[in-house]
A and B are shown apart, each in its own frame.
Chain A
Amino acid sequence: MPLLRNGHIALDQWVAVGDDEALPEDAPIIVSLARWRAERGSLVDEYRQIGIRLKGGDNAEEIANDLPYFDLVAIEFASIADGRGYSTARLLRDRYGYSGELRAVGHIIRDIFPFLHRCGFDAVEARNDRDAKAWRESVGAINVAYQPATDNRLPTTVLRHLPLAAAAE
């Protein structure tokens, strides 16, 4: 599965490590919340890059204090219908100030790219290479935002009343 960062196929140097697997040498690792909690001390001591993988039901608040340790947060979408990850992402970015890579993993189809993008995700585990083009096209396919979100696009409530917008009307 190709990794997309901001709509471009990117090298994925991260290694997702199962809870019972040995840690690879010298590679940045992605671990579960459970493993992070269990091995936090030794993981931090190794001075390596650490990513964490949250399941749909893991809330942002649970890792809020640990965010300085993470260079990557992966949020899992078990199915397209499980929308909890959107709230988790927005809280990580907007409330807890997380600025590292925010990666959507699991059941990701290109039709949810615009929602992911507006909620602060900058990376996805895509299905195929064509999804890179799909990301770039779909995040701008609807370029009107009725509400503020994490992408910092100006919502219509504000945009309509900018002096420039009034002049353009």
Chain B
Amino acid sequence: MYQYDTYDKTLVDQRARQYRDQAERRVEGDLTEDEFRPLRLMNGLYQELHSYMMRINIPYGTLSSAQLRKLAHVARTYDRGYGHFTTRQNIQFNWVTLEQSPDILAELAGVEMHAIQSSGNCIRNVTADAFAGAAADEIEDSRIWAEIIRQWSTLHPEFAFLPRKFKIAVTGSPNDRAAIRVHDIGVALHLNAEGETGFEVVVGGGQGRTPMIAKTIREFLPARHLLSYLEAILRVYNQFGRRDNKYKARIKILVHEIGAQPFAEAVEKEWEQIKDSALLLPEDEVARITSFFAPPQLEKLGPTAPAFDAKRLTDRAFAAWAKANVVAHKAPGYGIVTISLKAPERAPGDATHTQMDAIADLADHFSQGEIRVTHEQNLVLPHVKLTHLFGLWQALAHHELATANAGLATDIVSCPGLDFCSLASARSIPVAQRIGRQLSDIERLHDIGELRIKISGCVNACGHHHVGHIGILGVEKKGEEFYQITLGGDPGTDAAIGNIIGPAFAGDRVAGAVENLIDTYLAQRSTNAERFIDTYRRIGAQPFKENLYATA
């Protein structure tokens, strides 16, 4: 993974010192809250319902074991012993004080981490495929380009005060695991006929109150032009994006209002002027960054692992876990392991400091010291020998980390909701927990198969409900919490926004409604291999709707 050189180190150290000065001036009253707000936001500090919350960047979801141990330390020392992994591959600490926030940033700088631009109306942490560098289906490691974007966007002086926040995602695989089409800019790596690396560029996707799927504005951009093209998009947006209404300020509204084609023309016109400027990526710099993402030194193994097969035959629980939580690695004899942070009764995405320490140790033992964060709010050990899986599974189980539900119905994505968030209209976590209880039977869960349930506590859609196969949106009506259900959303290659199925449900009826939708699916699926989303696409919403509201 990427390692800081003296320039990177200098920047985060200087930034940590600068923030300490700003925080002290705020504490002393030298800065008003209005003046301090944009500054603290540019360093990831939000004021929440009960406390300050600090969001720390995990660039493209890649962590070293040392970094994860530091996050455990922060959780233990400055928070209440846990952290929350987010849908943007970051981590949030919910119980931080203003006075201690500079100390946290200083600690993070020591392990090459920071919170620069993790909030505010600027370019946020760049995300990528959580399986990058390991996935059997990838063209090239997307993190090379995500790191290049991370550096370019960090403290970019022209784009620190955009109309609204700005999110960029990169995929290096034709199977999009980075949800690029629901980002402000999505970058999909391709090779052209000559075998050169380049990118399809999509713009104007997003969720929130006005969900939209991004439009392609360029089919193939040669890799060396990546930064000038991004700069052209951002410059057009910075000048012409709406600033009169924060709900219409995202780039998706600009693209929608002027049209994708005119927007693309404006970008191309700007790009023509700057494409051969100092933004042109030097080959030696691309080579330098690429070298950090060289494939790990893995043993040459055969594709089969008899010991692993034998264990699966004799231990059903292990077999269920391996089936759901392990996917193919590009190196034979290895697997990519998802560590579910969706154990029953836990808040989705939360991990305690002891769990983080344990995972860091397991990463050192089994996975080249590397950990990933997924946008489904799970963690990943990307390079595990199949023969080590049984031992790993046992160790994970000891820490309540072996829930066999990756990609299944109880692998629920959820925002923190009204329990923590000052923007929320309704609670999210208790709804996720109730659905988890309802679907606790592991055999049945596996029979249902892949089903993405996503819950947001308000229209800002941090829980990504628009792209859930089943999406659940909390709304407030006359002081009571209700939940609207959408069907058919998908964040991936066939990206789609879900459709509202009908009237909302009270909180205690949501789990029953989900159960009802699953029953319809099980009755209607053509084969056991047809996933929920496939059945929905084949038969449409009507059969689901009829059953769901039949008894109402």
Which residues of A approach B to under 8 Å, CB–CB?
56, 59, 80-84, 86-88, 90, 95, 109, 111-112, 114-119, 138, 141-144, 146-149, 155-161, 169
Most chain B CB neighbours (cut-off 10 Å) among A56, A81, A141, A169: A81
**Alpha-carbon gap, A112 to B39, bound state (A):** 9
Q: A83-B162, A87-B235 are in contact. Are A142 and B39 (CB under 8 A)?
A: no
Is there contact, CB below 8 Å, between B159 and A95? no
Closest to B282 in A: A157
Is there contact, CB below 8 Å, between B11 and A144? yes
**Alpha-carbon gap, A117 to B155, bound state (A):** 13
Interface string of B1-13 (1 = CB under 8 A from A): 0000111101100
**Alpha-carbon gap, A118 to B243, bound state (A):** 23
Partner of B161 from A83, A147, A161 at Cβ < 8 Å? A83
Is there contact, CB below 8 Å, between B121 and A144? no
**Alpha-carbon gap, A109 to B6, bound state (A):** 30
B290 adjacent to chain A (CB < 8 Å): no
- Residues from chain A with a CB closer than 8 A to the CB of B277 are 148
Is there contact, CB below 8 Å, between B273 and A81? no
Most chain A CB neighbours (cut-off 10 Å) among B151, B158, B273, B284: B158
Least CB distance from A159 to B in Å reads: 7
Number of interface residues of B (CB under 8 A): 42
- Residues from chain A with a CB closer than 8 A to the CB of B157 are 86, 114-119, 149
Least CB distance from B8 to A in Å reads: 8
**Alpha-carbon gap, A117 to B243, bound state (A):** 24
B239 adjacent to chain A (CB < 8 Å): yes
**Alpha-carbon gap, A114 to B161, bound state (A):** 13
Most chain B CB neighbours (cut-off 10 Å) among A111, A144, A155: A144
Partner of A142 from B11, B160, B284 at Cβ < 8 Å? B11
Q: Which of B28-55 contact A (CB under 8 A)?
A: 31, 35, 38-39
Is there contact, CB below 8 Å, between B278 and A80? no
Least CB distance from B147 to A in Å reads: 11
Is there contact, CB below 8 Å, between A95 and B11? no
Is there contact, CB below 8 Å, between A142 and B155? yes
**Alpha-carbon gap, A115 to B39, bound state (A):** 13
Is there contact, CB below 8 Å, between A83 and B160? yes
B190 adjacent to chain A (CB < 8 Å): no
List, sorted by A's number, 16 A–B pairs whose CB atoms are closer than 8 Å. A80-B161, A81-B121, A81-B161, A83-B121, A114-B157, A118-B157, A138-B18, A144-B14, A146-B152, A147-B152, A148-B278, A148-B279, A157-B282, A158-B285, A161-B284, A169-B6
Is there contact, CB below 8 Å, between B14 and A95? no
- Residues from chain B with a CB closer than 8 A to the CB of A149 are 156-158
- Residues from chain B with a CB closer than 8 A to the CB of A143 are 10, 14
